[in-house]
Structure 1
Amino acid sequence: MTVLHNPVIRGFTPDPSIVRVGDWYYVATSSFEWFPTIPVHRSRDLAHWEYAGHVRGAVPGGCLAGVPDSGGVWAPSLSWDGERFWVVYAIVRSVGTPYFDADTYVSTATEVDGPWSAPRRVASHGFDPALFHHEGRLWLLNLQNDHRPGGRRFAGIVLTELDRKTLNPVGGTHLLLQHERLVEGPKLVFRDHWYHLALAEGGTGFEHGVRVARSRALTGPYELDDRPLLTSRDDPSLPLQKAGHGELLQLSDDSWVLSHLTARPLGRAAGPRCTLGRETAIQRVVWDAQGWPRLAHGGHHPAVEVDVPTRPHPLVAAPAEGLGWPWSSLRGAPDPSWADADTRPGWIRLRGRHGPESRWAHSLLAQRITEHRAQAQVTVEARPETFTQAAGLVLWYNTEAHLSLDLTWAEAEGEEQSGQQWRGGGRTVLRLVERDEAGTRVVADADIEAGNAVTLGVTVNGGEARFWYVRNGQRIAIGGPLDFSKLSDDHGSKLRFTGSMAGIHAVDLVDAAFSADFAGFRLICG
């Protein structure tokens, strides 16, 4: 037996879809506006996981420019047909609107790290699709979205058969189930002559859960279980909250597990906030006398420690190479035109482009924060000559929630801010900036000697972030403690689905010629 500790994949890894191929287990997770698209992790024992690649080319054209925060690639579903991996997912281009403007795509590969076939669009009823391989046939599950005024945006679960070669629909679409509660994320398994439909129930916040329905016939009708398989919504004291979006998987010894998303909230005066985003967890499942799946430890609350029938197989995380994982970038993969790890060995050079609120061309590289205590630091070398140029260290959630400590230009001490005057004056400063839904604020400035490399850092402790820099070998605090909990799924009124990141960025709003060099980036979590 192996004891796993949930979450098994920590930090921003939502909507896990799990599959077993031989001795390996694979989990694909949502990437939203981030690249690499659809990260895949693997494990031999369900407890120790490593990055195994991603679905390269998942976005046609390789670009999500203009996609809103928390748009992009939603809820991939990974499957295996005995010969190939399949992945189906939605690219959502409108968030918080009735339409979603979602396109559903399918791609395949013989190896999980690719190459993946060019994505092909299939019937796009909604988001959170899944594929069901059964008796040589291929079926597409999806949420049905009714965008009309007065309509139900979550109008039930539908099923369409696809031709395995062309992916064109075969026959009509079947309505499997409608429910008064919001249900989405359908996943099917066949066991003991029953089709079992696992559903995400109640939305992806603190009301989230997993409910199962079943039918003797694939196309229904489906009968809902009278109680949830998994939820934490009735006990806010549980360490694992938001438990939902589950998928059942049979192991090699015929036992079963459930993969699901969860979150570890911070208690704040304004309410719980999940700065780490939604994470991946696994529960042991048994089947009761009536043939319904139940959590092996009883009840419906997620457990932190779970015994699974595997042999422990620890993995050694591979070190970062160049601009690959664990680096991520916004709305497009790193491109040599703005991100270069080869020109200056040991350094990353970023060419500044749009500002941090851009949804088109922000030069940013970031890594997931995986624990409530974390520290990031980096050495940056740059020569900003105007207030339109900046580069530095950033804590990032989205375009409306971030904190940054940047090298930039400012007027001489005491001189009024009045645009660039090109009089040869000014100074180089470190500027600490806070951005939230109320706008952008300068928290503090510190003079710095122009042209010299400077080490920047930030320490995160729960809901608090403190920035600092190094001068003459000593850490010097800049500004006071900032509210890191605003960089969470739960702050503000807009839909938020990702997680906090730490990284580096560069800005040049005029001619995109300014560049900055970064070395020694470290992110230590825990």
Structure 2
Amino acid sequence: MTIISNPVLRGFNPDASMLRVGDDYYIATSTFEWFPGVQIHHSRDLVHWRMLTRPLSEVSQLDLRGTPSSGGIWAPALTYHNGTFYLMITDVKARRGVFKDLHNYLLTSNDIMGPWSTPIHLNSSGFDPFLFHDDDGRKYLLNMAWDYRKGKDRFSGIMMQQYSEEKRCLIGPVTKIATGTSIGVTEGPFMFKRNGWYYLLLAEGGTGWNHAATLARSRHIEGPYEYDPEFPLITTVDTPDYPLQKAGHGAIVETQNGEWYMSYICARPLPERRLSPLGRETGLARLVWTEDGWLRLTQGGKLPPVTEQAPDLPPHTFLQLPSTDDFEDEELGGQYFTLRVPASGDWLSLTERPGYLRLRGRESLYSWHNQSMVARRLDHFECEVETCVEFEPEHFNQMAGLVLYYDESDHFYLRISRDEDRGKHIALVVTKQGQYDEPDGAVVLTDNWERCYLKVIVQFHRVQFSCSPDGTTWLNIGNTLDLGQLSDEYEGKLGFTGTMIGLCAQDLSGMMKQADFDYFTIITK
């Protein structure tokens, strides 16, 4: 029996929207403030997955400059009808206090690889939009509605309105079709139809430790909806020691052979700690129908499966990324993101010095606008990351190096710089809850440091940075740091992303000093 090992999409891959078209399966996940927007993953057997494409690749489709951390793209919803792919997104522009400044857009394409249309604005009443295609050809937009008023339930229900493809806008009345169960915090609607029933899968309980997914149904699309009497379908709320936590927010597909699976999000906490620095990830659960028309986890109970029986489909593997990227290609690989802005030639080049990633320094790691950073997800609790950089800073405002980054308020940065006291040197910078610090232990670079090798070793909660003049003899810089700091839950932080590991450069003088990175190696255990 072939096994699915969860999570199937590891590291910061939340809000999974799963879709089957013929023999192909797709999962779209949120990218928040990272560019390009939305990741679409592909599989043919639900066991092996690859990152396939990122639809929002132009500023004309997605402008994230000034977007707050954990804002940007929330909960994409991918659907398909009559030869067209439909992608719903929420773009969150502000999330302070009780308000949510956000906008819901629709994009379409005849090919999953694009090109995708210019986004059409549909509404701004709440987040988690989903476009349902009914049997009669009518289309309906569902989204949760946000109510900021004092004394009101901020998650005020699931709203529905018809979408006119001809007019490219919403038409007709807005109807509240569901308010959720006693779990509360109802969001993330996903709708499908079977045997004359409209089924509505809802995320509930918030995206933290109380997260869950609940199924409801109705004979009429506008309701009333009855809830599964044994709700929720999946949750870990009462099992804090279970290896997969925060289970909820799903989508459901039927395989070619009549098997049923649900995508769900989850998180793997650090051992014996309620902190999950890898972010929310994506898993799969096999489902079975009851005689009275409800879905249950095939394994029984409500816990997300750590391993799951794969469907009866031919195995379909993909080439794995090599552990080292030597930057030989002329474009960045699909594993990389940039922060809020696209990888444009004014600050990034893979061709000016072939075999190197050249970054020109711009704004600080605190900026919401024009950072020069290339990063990828941290997806394992045990790994070793290494790079080699050639960089000749002229003063303290010019820096470049290796960063473990959650957001501007929490990150660890091993950087090369120069000042009037130490000359050229390597030092560690730690920002914790917005407080900047430079721990002792800087290494002054003598003439034998023609190139600077930088490394970080992650062993669960322990993070150790080091440097080397030759890639062989390594010097630890600073004490071990706590990976748990780079978590959504750390000291009450309200974020939704995960730890990224990146290469970056800053030049606060505005001269855009360049740094050349020779390679980027990530070895996981």
TM-score computed with the length of structure 1 as normaliser: 0.95
Shift of 1:449: 2.9
Equivalent position of 1:477 in the other structure? 476
Match of 1:327 among 332, 336, 341: 336
SS at structure 2 position matched to 1:474? coil
Whether contact under 8 Å (1:229, 1:295) holds in the other structure is: yes
Report the counterpart of residue 446 of structure 2 in structure 1: 449
Q: Which runs of 5+ in 2 are unaligned?
A: none
Aligned CA distance change for structure 1 residues 61 and 311 (closer, same or farther; 3 Å): closer
For the 8 Å contact 1:132–1:140, the answer to whether it is kept is yes
**CA distance, structure 1, for counterparts of residue 241 and residue 70 of structure 2:** 27
- Alignment of structure 1 residues 85-234 onto 2, 5 Å: 85-135=85-135, 136-179=137-180, 180=182, 181-226=184-229, 227-234=231-238
Q: Deviations over 1:8-42 (max 9, x none)?
A: 11111110101011111001000000012101110
CA contact (8 A) 1:56 1:115 kept: no
Q: d(CA) in 1 for partners of 2:199 and 2:242?
A: 28
Out of 245, 252, 255, which is 2:256 matched to? Answer: 252
Q: Note the C-alpha offset of 1:60.
A: 4.0
Match of 2:286 in 1: 284
Q: Take 1:461 and 1:290, find their aligned partners in 2: how far apart are those partners?
A: 48
Report the Cα offset of residue 63 of structure 1. Answer: 2.3
Higher mean C-alpha displacement, 30-39 vs 491-500: 491-500
Residue 172 of structure 1 aligns to a residue whose secondary structure is: strand
Q: Deviations over 1:339-366 (max 9, x none)?
A: 1111001101111111001111111100
Secondary structure of the structure 2 residue equivalent to 1:311:
coil
Q: Deviations over 1:477-521 (max 9, x none)?
A: 111111111011211323111111111000001123211111111
Q: Distance in 2 between matches of 1:329 and 1:57?
A: 11
SS of the residue 1:155 aligns to: strand
The one-letter amino acid of 1:123's match is N
Q: Could you tell me which residue of structure 1 aligns to residue 494 of structure 2? A: 495
- In 2, are the aligned partners of 1:156 and 1:175 still within 8 Å (CA)? yes
2:464 is the counterpart of 1:460: no
Distance in 1 between residues matched to 2:493 and 2:502, nearest whole Å: 24
**Distance (Å, rounded) in 2 between the aligned partners of 1:377 and 1:306:** 34
1:220-241 residue CA offsets vs partner (Å, 9 max, x unmatched): 0111123210001110111110
> For the residues of structure 2 that align with 1:248 and 1:29, how far apart are their CA atoms?
15
Q: Secondary structure at the match of 1:165?
A: coil
Q: What is the one-letter code of the residue matched to 2:426?
A: L
- For the residue of structure 1 that corresponds to 2:484, the secondary structure is helix
Equivalent residue number for residue 265 of structure 2: 261
Q: 1:79: which partner in 2?
A: 79
1:498 is paired with a residue whose SS is coil
Measured in 1, the distance between the counterparts of 2:4 and 2:239 equals: 22
Residue 412 of structure 1 deviates from its aligned partner by 2.0
Native 8 Å contact 2:67 2:368 kept in 1: yes
Letter in 2 for 1:387: F
User: Which residue of the partner structure matches residue 419 of structure 1?
Assistant: none
- Determine if contact 2:360/2:512 at 8 Å carries over to the other structure: yes
The answer on whether the counterparts of 2:37 and 2:62 sit within 8 Å (CA) in structure 1 is no
Percent sequence identity is: 39
In structure 2, what is the Cα distance between the partners aligned to 1:96 and 1:356? Answer: 21
Please tell me whether residue 379 in structure 1 is matched to residue 380 in structure 2. no
* Post-superposition offset of 1:314: 1.7
Q: 1:435 aligns with which of 431, 434, 443?
A: 431
- Asked whether the equivalents of residues 76 and 87 of structure 2 are also in contact (C-alpha less than 8 Å), the reply is yes
Query: How many Å separate the matches in 2 of 1:323 and 1:95?
Result: 31
- For the residue of structure 2 that corresponds to 1:144, the secondary structure is strand
Aligned length: 511
SS at match of 2:94: coil
**Partner in structure 1 of residue 65 of structure 2:** 65
Contact 1:144/1:157 (<8 A) preserved: yes
**Which amino acid counterpart does residue 119 of structure 1 have in structure 2?**
P
- Paired with 1:193 and 1:74, the residues of 2 have a C-alpha distance of 31
Shift of 1:118: 0.5
Distance 1:238 1:59, change over 3 A: farther
Q: Alpha-carbon deviations, 1:407-427, whole Å to 9, x = none?
A: 1012325xxxxxxxxxxxxx0
In the aligned structure 2, how far is the partner of 1:447 from the partner of 1:165? 66
Residue by residue over 1:313-336, the C-alpha shift from the partner in whole angstroms, topping out at 9 and shown as x without a partner, is 221135664323111011111111
Structure 1: distance between partners of 2:402 and 2:214: 42
Look up the match of 1:509.
Answer: 508
Query: C-alpha distance in 2, partners of 1:509/1:346?
Result: 27
Separation of aligned partners in 1, 2:166 and 2:271: 51
1:230 and 1:244 in contact (8 A); partners too: yes
Which amino acid is the alignment partner of residue 516 of structure 1? A
Secondary structure of the 1:492 match is: helix
Deviation at 1:178, TM superposition (A): 1.3
The farther-off stretch of 205-214 and 144-153 is 144-153
C-alpha separation between the residues in 2 aligned to 1:92 and 1:285?
33
How is 1:403-418 mapped onto 2 (pairs within 5 angstroms)?
A: 403-413=412-422
Deviation per residue, 1:280-322 (Å, 9 max, x gap): 1000011112111110111110111111222222211356643
Which letter maps to 2:421?
A
- The AA in structure 2 aligned to 1:432 is L
Conserved? CA contact 1:376–1:524, under 8 Å: yes
Partner of 2:308: 306
CA RMSD of aligned residues (A): 1.5
Letter in 1 for 2:443: A
CA deviations on 1:210-261 (whole Å, 9 max, x unpaired) are: 0111111000011112321000111011111010101111111122110011
CA distance in 2 between partners of 1:233 and 1:525 (Å): 30
3-state DSSP of counterpart to 2:369: coil
1:113 Cα offset (Å) = 1.6
